[in-house]
Structure 1
Amino acid sequence: MYSVKWDRKTRGIKLIKSGDGEIPPIVRPVFYEELDILGFGRFWDYPKVDEPLLWNVGRYYYYNGEKVAKVSGGGFYEAPKLELFKKDLALESVDIDGMIIENEEIMDSVVHTTLDFISSVYENYMNKVDMVVVAFSGGKDSTVLLDLVQRILAPDEYIVVFNDTTMELPPTYEFIEKEIKHRYPNLNLFVAKYEKPAIEMWKKIGIPSRVHRWCCTVYKTVPTIKLIREIVGKEYPQVLIYDGVRGDESQKRAKLSRVSKGKHLQQINVHPIIEWNSAMVYLYTFIRDLPLNKLYRFGVARVGCAVCPFESQWKETILWSKFRDEVKPYLDLIEEYAKNRKCKSNEIKDFINAGAWKKRIGGRVLGVKDKVNIIENKNKNVVINIDNPNENWFEWVKTLGKVVVGNPSGFIEIKGAQYPFKWQRNTDGLKITFLSEINRDVLLYIKNVSYKTAYCVKCGTCEIECPSSAISIDSGKIRIDELKCTNCHRCLMFVDRGCVVADSFKISMVVKSMGSLTRYKTFGMRKEWLEEFFLDPEKWWSENSLGSVQKESMKLWLTDAEIVKVKDNKRVLSEVGCLLMSIGVHDLFTWAVIWTNLSKNSPLIGWYIQKLPWGRIYTRNELMEALGDEYRARTKRNAITELIQLLDNTPLGAELKIGIPIKKGKTTTAIEKKGLSAEDTSRIQPLAILYTLYRYAERVNRYHFTVSELYEESAPEGPYKLFGIQKSTLEAVLRGLEERYGKDWINVELVADLDNINLNPKRKSLDILKLYRGVWND
C-alpha cells in the first residue's frame, strides 16, 4: 500500500512508495459546496469552481498541507461547530493537471497491475460461471471499478447491477441517469429493487439499528439474488462478481484476498481495488475525468441510504441541510419510537442527535406484543400458543422433516425420531402440544418454526437463504417444496428466532440478581478452599478444614459460582463444577468462569462490575461510599470485606487484574480495578472470552449482538464489564476465535462500521467448558 504526502506545488496530494507518508490515506477532496454548508464563507474567500479547494482527514481540514480548521458535533438537528486555526484565508483550487503529473508514474503502475488482474480473473472463470456481474452503488469506489472493468471486458461480457434500496438520495439517481448512462451508453445496467418501499417495511419490522440490520438483507441481498437468478434462469447460478471493496475501510476487509467466496449463490467475489487507498481512488477519478456523485461535493464520505444507523453525525448534518424532504418520513418514525420510550417533547431531538435510536435492541417500545408463548412443562411436554399467526405452521414445519398431519393430531419425523403432537385452532390462533420429550436442538428448530409462523411478512430473506430453492411465495403464501428441501435448517438458524421480524420484535429480558448484598458471612472464597473442595466434593461437606461460618460462606460462593447445585434438598456437584474440577484451580480459565458466573448470581459481584469504572484505585472507604446510603454502615463494611478477601485470596485479584490488592503491611487498604491489557489478555485462554459471550447471549436471550453494545453502560456483563478488555483487543480475540474454532461457534463481522458477533444458538456456555476440557462431542 502506498503512502500519501502533501504536494505543496499543486496544493494537492502525492503518492510515495515508502511508508513515511504525512497523512492517512483516507484523505478526501473538499469542494466549495461543503464549505458553504459548514459556513466557512463567513471567514474565508474561495472560488466556486469544479476543482477541490482543500482536503479533509477525519474532522480536520488542510490547505496546502497545513491544518486550517476542525469541525466537531453535528447531526440532524444540530449544526456542527467550527474551530478555525487560520482565519481570513483566500483559497485557490487544487492544480488538478499538475497533481496528475506528479502521480502519473505510480498510478500508471497501479492501474496496469489492476487491469491485468481483472483480465486474468475473467479468463480463469469465464467458462466456469453463468454470469459476470459488476456491483455498482453510485459511489466513488464502484465508479472507479466500473471504469476499470469496462476497459478490459466488452459490454456483452458482463452486466452491471445497481441496488436501489428506495432510500437512495436524489444525487445518486441523477448520477446514474445523467452521468453513468451517458458515459457508458452500451452498458447492460440492471436495477435490483425490493417490491415495497423501505418506509413501509420500517413500519412493519421496526426501525433498523446497529443490532437489527434487517434493512441490508431485505433491501440489498434479497432483490440482488432474485434478480440474478431471474436473469440467468437458474435457481442456483454460478456468478463471478467484481466489487469495489477496499482494504483500508476496515481491518477485516484488509485481510480479504483479492478473490473470495460469497455467502449466497455459487458466488465468487473479486476485489480488484482491495489494495487501493482512498487517495488512489480520487486520483484515478481525476486522471480519467470520471463523473463524481454530487454527494461527495457536499462532504459525504460514503454514499448510502438516506437514513442509516451507521451514519456519522456529519453526514446527518448534510442530509438535514440538503435533503430534508427525503429524510423527514424516516425521522418521523424515529420520533414516534422516541415517544414510545417516554422521551419528552423537548428531549426528542437530543435523543435523535445522540444516536440513541441506533442502539435499539428488541421490540419492547415498538408497541408490539410477543405472539408466541412457549411452555416447557416439568413432564417434558412442550405447549406452543401462537396468536394471530401470519403464516401456516404446518407449512413451515416441513423444513424440519417428514410431517404427517391429521385432525387433531400428527407427528414430525426428524432423523428417524418421531415427535407426536396434538393441535387445536381457535379464532385467535393455534395451539400445538407435543406429547413426548424433545431434545434441545429439535426444540430450538420447533420454536423458530413457530416464530416464523407468527411474524412472517414474506420479506424474501428465507428464500435466498435456502441453498436448494425450496422456499417460495405463491399467491401471497409461503410454500415449502418437500422434494427440494434437504432439511438443512439454514432458513431457521440464520438469525435469532429464525426470522428477521421476530428478532426485531423480541422483548429482551435481563433479570437482575436478587438477594442480600452481604451474604458470605464476611468471608471471601479462597483458592485453597476450592482446591480442598475439589479433592473430594462429596466428603468435603462432612470433613473439611474450615470453621462452621467459613463453611457456610464457601457453600454460598460455590452455589453462586454454579459449581454446586441443589438437588433433592442437598447441594451436589454440578456439571459446571465437574468440568472445573477436572481443569483445576491452577488454571486461570477456571477463575474466569467462576467470575463470569458470579457476575450474574452474586449481588455483590454484580454491583462491582456494573458500578465501578475500570482504571481506578479504590480505598475501602471509597468502596463503602460507592455502595450509597441504601445500606447500613455495618452491612457495607461486611460486603467490602467479602469482596476484598475474594480478590486477595484468589487469582481474580492480582492475576486477572479485576482488583489488584494494595497493601499496607499485611492489610489490604485498597484495590486497583485495572483490567486486562492486550498483553494480559494474550495470557488468558481465548475460550474464556468465548464463554463470557455465550453467557451474555443466554442472559439477554440473543445470539446476535454487537461489540459496541458490550461496551455500553447498560450491558449486564461481557468481556469488558467482567475483565476490562479494550475494544481493539477484544476484536483481535474474536477474529482469532473464529479462525481457530470456526463459524459454527462464532462468526464475526468487523467490516467498516459493522461490529457484529454471531453465536450459534444451538451451543450453550457449558459447551465451551467441554470444548476447553477436550470432551466436546457434537
Structure 2
Amino acid sequence: MRADPQLWNYSWRTSYPVRLRKERILLGREVRLGEMKLFWCPSCNLPVVAQRICPRCGEDTRVVRLTPPGDARPAFEGDIRLIREVVGRNFGERAAEAFVRDGEVVFINRAPSVDLHHEVIAGGEVLGAVIYDLKEGDFRLTLREGGSARIVDVAERGVITVDGGAAQAILERGASLLRPGALEVRGGVKKGQEVLLLDPSGRLFAGGRATADLPPGEVSPGKGMVVKVRWKSPTSPIPPPPALMSIQDVVEANREYLKYLEQKGVEFVREVRKKFPRLPVVVSYSGGKDSLATLLVVLEAGLKPPILFVNTGLEFPETLQNVRDVARRYELDVLEATPTADFYSEIERFGPPGRDYRFCCKSLKLGPVVKLIGERFPQGVLSFIGQRRYESFGRMEKGEVWRNPWVPGQIGASPIQDWTALEVFLYILMKGAPLNPLYRRGLDRIGCWLCPATDMGDLEVIGGEHPHWERWSEFLARWAERESLPKEALRWGTWRYRRPPGWLREMARREGISLPEDLRRGWMGMLEMEEGRDRIVLKGVKDKGRLLNILYAVGEVKEGVVRTPEGEVLVEVSGQEVVLKGSAVGDLVGFLKSVAIRSQECVHCGICPGRCPTGALTLGPSGIEIDEKTCVSCRHCLLGPCPAEAYRPSRGFSF
C-alpha cells in the first residue's frame, strides 16, 4: 500500500512533539538535535522511517522510544558479534543467541554518554545497551524488560530467585535486593554483572546490577545489598518478536520514502547551484557514509563534479581504498589534498589533540583544503559536504549553507542536513553504492583513526590494528610521563581532553589521582610575550628575519621601523629578545601578537596564504613568507583564525 507523501513531511509531529533545544545540555540529559524518525509496524513487525502509516499494510505505526538524539543505524556484522559476546559473557551462549536471533534486523542507537553507549533495538523496542566502561577498560551490558524476557528462560547464569517479601518491596518501593531476600542463584553471579530477578513462582519481574559475588545454588545467610535494581514490572515482560528479515527487505519497504528524500535533496542541490552559478562544484569526500550519500544525491541532480579528498596520513587503509573504489565506480576525478605539516611533528609541539583542542583538524585538513582551493579554484568553490544536524549542536546550528572562517573561498552546502544515520545507510544500500567496510566491523564514524572524537570503545574494537598504533602508543606514554599521569589515566582516554571535564576529574579523584586543569602545559620551546602599555616584549625569538618579514602584513618595514596608518612601531633586537614599542602598539597589539606567533610557530597549515588577495604570502620550507614587493599590508592574512594561535599550550607565555 502506498503511504501518503504528506506523512513523510513529518506531519506526525503533532502526535509526538519534539522541542529542539539550542542550548548545550549537560551529559546525562536529553540532547534534542532533530526529529525522532524510527517507527515500527506491529502488524508487519517492520521498521519504518518517518511514517505514521505502514507502507506495506496501511496500519498505524508507533514510534520507537530511543534516547535522543535518536540517530539510529543498522547493526552490522561487527556490532552483532560484540553484542553477543557481551551478552554471552553475562548469561551464557544460549542467551546470546536468544538476545539477537539469526536473520533478525537489529538497529543501534548511540546514546549520549562519557564513552560508547549503544542501545540495541529489535522487534520494535530497545532491548538493552552495550556500554564501554572506561574504568574497567571493557564492555558491559545493561538490559531492559524486552531484552530480559528474551533470555530469562535460557540464561545459564545471572538469574536470582527472591522471596515474596523482597519481590513486594522491589515492586512497591523500588527497593534494592538485600541478601536475606535472595533465595537461589542460577549459575552464579559476579559483582558488576547484569542480573535478572524472579519471584517465588519463577516469574521475571525485575532486573539490575549485582553489587556482590554470589555462588550458584542457595544463598547463604548474611547482610547487605546484593542487587541494585534498575527496572521492575508488575506483569511479566513480553519478549518482542524477532523481525526475521534482511536489511534489504527494510530498504524495499521504505523505498518510496527514500526516493522522496532523494528528490528533496536533488531539489536542494539544484537550488543552491542556481544561487552560485559561477562557482565550480566539488563534493568533499571522506570515505564515510555521509559524504557518500551526499555524492549520490549530487550525481542524481545531474552534476558530475570531482571529489575532494584530504589525505591526512592518518586514514584507515580501508578508507583510502574506498576513495579509489568510489572514484572508479562513478568515473570521477579525485582532487587529493595533503598536508605540509606532519602530525607526529605537530604533537611534539602541541601535545595530543583533544576534543576541546583540535589543532590537527586545522593543520591537517582545513589547511590543505585552503591550499588546494587557492591553487585550483582562486575565485572560490561550492562544496557539497555530508554534514548532518544529528551529529552535534554546532552542525545543527550551522544550517544547510554556510561559510567556514577557516576556509576562505569555500561555500559549504549539505543536501542531507536533516537526514538521520538510518536514512543515510538505507539510501546507500538502496543505491548499491560502495560502503566503507569499516562500518560492517562496528565503527560509528570514519575519519582519522585516532581522532579524539572517537570513543575509547571504538579504539578497543579496531584502533590497535592500525599500522601507526605502536608509534602513537609510545608518544602517549611519553606525554603521560611528562604530565605525571598514571597508566590508568591513559586507559580512560584522558589524552582526548585539554581541560578534563568534571566527570573525568571525579573518576580520577575516586582513584586517588589529581588531574591538572590544563593537560597541554609547556610543549617545546614556546615564544614568550609580555605586554606593557606601549610595548610588547618577545622572548625566545629564533627567527628574527622571519619576524621582520611577516611584519610587512601590518605595515612597511624599513630600518627597524614598521610604518602603519596608526603610527610607527620601533623594533629593537637583542639576542633572542625583540621589543616592539611605540605609541601605535596599543592600537595594533592584536596584529603584532599574531605576527609574532605566526612567524615563529607556523604549523604549515596553509590557511594564511589562502587569504592573501595578491599572492604575496606563500608557504615556504620553514613557514609563511611574504614577498615584500607585492605585499600591500592589507592584513587580510591576519584577520582569520590560525591554529598556532588558537591552540597554543598555556605554559611559557602570557597575554
TMscore range, shorter length: 0.5 to 0.7
- Structure 1 CA distance for aligned equivalents of residues 247 and 439 of structure 2: 17
User: 2:50 matched to which residue of 1?
Assistant: 15
Which of 398, 414, 418 matches 1:275? 418
Alignment of 1:375-390 (within 5 A): 376=532, 380-389=534-543
Q: How has the CA–CA distance of structure 1 residues 367 and 221 changed in structure 2, closer, same or farther, with 3 Å as cutoff?
A: closer
2:120 touches 2:129 (CA, 8 Å); kept in 1? yes
2:345 to 195, 200, 215: 200
Contact 1:391 1:454 in 2 (8 A): no
Matches within 5 A, 1:299-318: 299-318=442-461
Corresponding position of 2:441: 298
Q: Which residue of 2 aligns with 1:81?
A: 140
Q: For residue 28 of structure 1, what is the aligned residue in structure 2? A: 73
Are 2:97 and 1:54 equivalent residues in the alignment? Answer: no
Shift, 1:28, TM fit: 0.8
Segments of structure 2 that go 5 or more residues without pairing to the other structure are 1-8, 11-36, 54-60, 111-117, 156-240, 500-516
Residues 393, 453 of structure 1: 8 Å contact kept? yes
Match of 2:259 in 1: 108
Moved more, 72-81 or 239-248: 72-81
* CA distance in structure 1 between the partners assigned to 2:397 and 2:356 by the alignment: 24
Which deviations, in whole Å up to 9, do the C-alpha atoms of 1:21-43 show, x marking residues without a partner?
A: 32454111112222324524644
Change (3 A) 1:53 1:107: closer
Paired residues for 1:287-436 under 5 Å:
287-320=430-463, 323=465, 325-343=467-485, 347-359=486-498, 365-374=521-530, 376=532, 380-389=534-543, 392-405=546-559, 410-424=560-574, 426=575, 429-432=576-579, 434=581, 436=582
How big is each residue's C-alpha offset from its partner over 1:299-318, in whole Å with a ceiling of 9 and x where there is no partner? 22221111122222332222
Aligned counterpart, 1:162:
309
Find out whether 1:175 has 2:175 as its counterpart: no
Counterpart-to-counterpart distance in 2, 1:489 and 1:311: 37
The CA deviation string for residues 235-285 of structure 1, in whole angstroms up to 9 with x for no partner, is xx2211111112222344334443333433333222111122222112212
Contact 1:295 1:303 in 2 (8 A): yes
Contact 2:341 2:605 in 1 (8 A): no
How far, CA to CA, are the matches of 1:467 and 1:335 in structure 2?
A: 44
Which deviates more from structure 2 when the two are superposed, residues 438-447 or residues 89-98?
89-98
Deviation digits for residues 730-760 of structure 1 (CA, Å, limit 9, x no counterpart): xxxxxxxxxxxxxxxxxxxxxxxxxxxxxxx
Identify the match of residue 644 of structure 2 among 489, 500, 512. Answer: 500
Counterpart CA distance in 2 for 1:508 and 1:52 is: 58
503 and 290 in structure 1: CA distance in 2 versus 1, 3 angstrom threshold? closer
User: C-alpha distance in 1, partners of 2:64/2:119?
Assistant: 14
Q: Which amino acid aligns with 2:252?
A: I
3-state DSSP class of the match of 1:61? strand
The aligned residue for residue 97 of structure 2 is 45
Matches of 1:289 and 1:484, distance apart in 2 = 52
> CA–CA distance in 1 between the matches of 2:633 and 2:104?
57
The verdict on how the C-alpha distance between 1:259 and 1:369 changes in structure 2, with shifts beyond 3 A counting, is closer
Looking at structure 2, the residues matched to 365 and 439 of structure 1 have their Cα atoms a distance apart, in angstroms, of 29
Q: How many residues align?
A: 486
TM-score, scaled relative to structure 2: 0.66
Q: Deviations over 1:619-670 (max 9, x none)?
A: xxxxxxxxxxxxxxxxxxxxxxxxxxxxxxxxxxxxxxxxxxxxxxxxxxxx
Residue identity (%) = 21
The alpha-carbon distance between structure 1 residues 125 and 285, as it changes in their structure 2 partners (threshold 3 A), is: same
SS of equivalent to 1:161: strand
Q: What's the offset of the Cα at 1:160?
A: 0.7
Q: 1:37–1:401: structure 2 CA closer, same or farther, 3 Å change rule?
A: same
CA contact (8 A) 2:388 2:418 kept: yes
3-state DSSP class of the match of 2:355?
coil
The CA deviation at 1:389 is 3.3
Superposed CA offset, 1:535-564 (max 9, x none): xxxxxxxxxxxxxxxxxxxxxxxxxxxxxx
Q: Which amino acid aligns with 1:376?
A: G
CA 1:270–1:208 in 2, change beyond 3 Å: closer, same or farther?
A: same
Contact kept, 8 Å, 2:390 with 2:396, in 1: the verdict is: yes
Asked whether 1:456 is paired with 2:602, we answer yes
Query: How do 1:129-140 residues align onto structure 2 when only pairs under 5 Å count?
Result: 129=279, 131-140=280-289
3-state SS of 1:133 partner: strand
Shift of 1:502: 8.3
The superposition leaves residues 161-200 of structure 1 with CA deviations (integer Å, 9 ceiling, x where unpaired) of 11111111122123223x413422x111221111454223
Task: Name the SS for the 2:50 alignment partner.
Answer: strand
Q: Residues 448 and 492 of structure 1 are in contact (CA less than 8 Å); yes or no, is this contact kept in structure 2?
A: yes
Q: Does 1:258 align with 2:393?
A: no
More helix by share: 1
Per the TM alignment, residue 77 of structure 1 is displaced from its structure 2 partner at its CA by 8.2
Structure 1 residues 561-600: aligned runs within 5 Å: none
Using the alignment, how far apart are the partners of 1:48 and 1:180 within structure 2?
33
Q: How much has 1:44 moved relative to structure 2?
A: 2.2
Please say if residues 192 and 227 of structure 1, whose CA atoms lie closer than 8 Å, have aligned partners that are also in contact. Answer: yes
Question: Paired residue for 2:40?
Answer: 6
Residues 225 and 461 (structure 1 numbering): CA distance in 2 closer, same or farther, change over 3 Å?
closer
Contact preservation (8 Å) 1:133, 1:159: yes
Is the CA contact (8 Å cut-off) linking 1:140 and 1:293 kept in structure 2? yes
Residue 579 of structure 2 aligns to a residue whose secondary structure is: strand
1:69 paired to 2:128? yes
Residue type of the partner of 1:70?
Answer: A
> CA 1:150/1:433 → structure 2, altered by over 3 Å: closer, same or farther?
closer
Give RMSD over aligned pairs.
3.5
Cα distance in structure 2, aligned partners of 1:101 and 1:176: 27
Please tell me whether the aligned partners of residues 46 and 91 of structure 1 are also in contact (alpha carbons under 8 angstroms).
Answer: no
Q: Distance in 2 between matches of 1:502 and 1:261?
A: 19
Counterpart amino acid of residue 402 in structure 1? E
Aligned partner of residue 80 in structure 1, secondary structure? strand
Matching residue of 1:525: none
User: What displacement does 1:397 show?
Assistant: 0.9
Task: In structure 1, list runs of 5 or more residues that go unmatched.
Answer: 510-700, 703-778
Per-residue CA distance 1:464-485 (angstroms, 9 max, x = gap) = 3445543113454532134654
Question: Contact 2:283–2:295 at 8 Å: present in 1 too?
Answer: yes
Structure 1 pair 249–365 and aligned structure 2 pair: CA distance change class (3 A): closer
Secondary structure class of the residue paired with 1:121? helix
Q: Is the 8 A contact 1:46 1:92 kept in 2?
A: no
| TM-score, normalised with respect to structure 1 | 0.56
Alpha-carbon contact 2:45-2:124 (below 8 Å) kept: no
**Cα distance, 1:439 vs. partner?**
4.3
Equivalent pair of 1:399/1:489 in contact (CA under 8 Å): yes
2:539, 2:374 → 1: CA distance?
37
Q: Is the 8 A contact 2:374 2:610 kept in 1?
A: no
Deviations 1:364-391 (A, max 9, x none): 64553443343637xx455433343386
SS of residue matched to 2:618: strand
Q: Residue 490 of structure 2 aligns to which amino acid in structure 1?
A: F
195-204 or 354-363, larger mean C-alpha shift = 354-363
Structure 2 Cα separation of the partners of residues 170 and 5 of structure 1: 36
Task: State the alpha-carbon separation in 2 of the partners of residues 503 and 260 from structure 1.
Answer: 24
Taking the aligned partners of 1:304 and 1:367, their CA distance within structure 2 comes to 26
Change (3 A) 1:290 1:29: same
Distance 1:504 1:474 in 2: 22
Q: Is the 2:371–2:607 Cα contact (8 Å) retained in structure 1?
A: no
Structure having greater relative contact order (Cα 8 Å, sep ≥ 6): 2
Change in CA separation of 1:167 and 1:433 when aligned onto 2, cut-off 3 Å: closer
Indicate conservation of the 8 Å contact 1:206/1:504, yes or no: no
Distance in 1 between residues matched to 2:381 and 2:400, nearest whole Å: 16
Residue type of the partner of 1:4? Answer: L
- Alpha carbons 2:603, 2:644 under 8 Å: kept: no
Aligned twin of 2:214: none
How much has 1:457 moved relative to structure 2? 4.3
